Amino acid sequence: MEVDDIAQTAQALRIVIAAIDAGEVAASETQRAYLASAVDVLAALAIQDT
């Protein structure tokens, strides 16, 4: 996966998290935490690939 792809995926997940926080998307705290963890992992991968 290219760094740009990783960054785009992380940004898409951040948008989903923002929608959850705004009440636009229903999700449990566990689901939100899972998405936030995925963003953290993707950010770490992007740093390693640069």
pTM, to two decimals: 0.86
pLDDT at 11: 95
Amino acid occupying residue 42: L
Each residue of 9-46: pLDDT tens digit?
Answer: 999 999 999 999 999 999 999 999 999 999 999 999 88
Q: Where are the domains of the chain?
A: 3-48
Q: What is the DSSP string of 1-50?
A: --HHHHHHHHHHHHHHHHHHHTTSS---HHHHHHHHHHHHHHHHHHHHT-
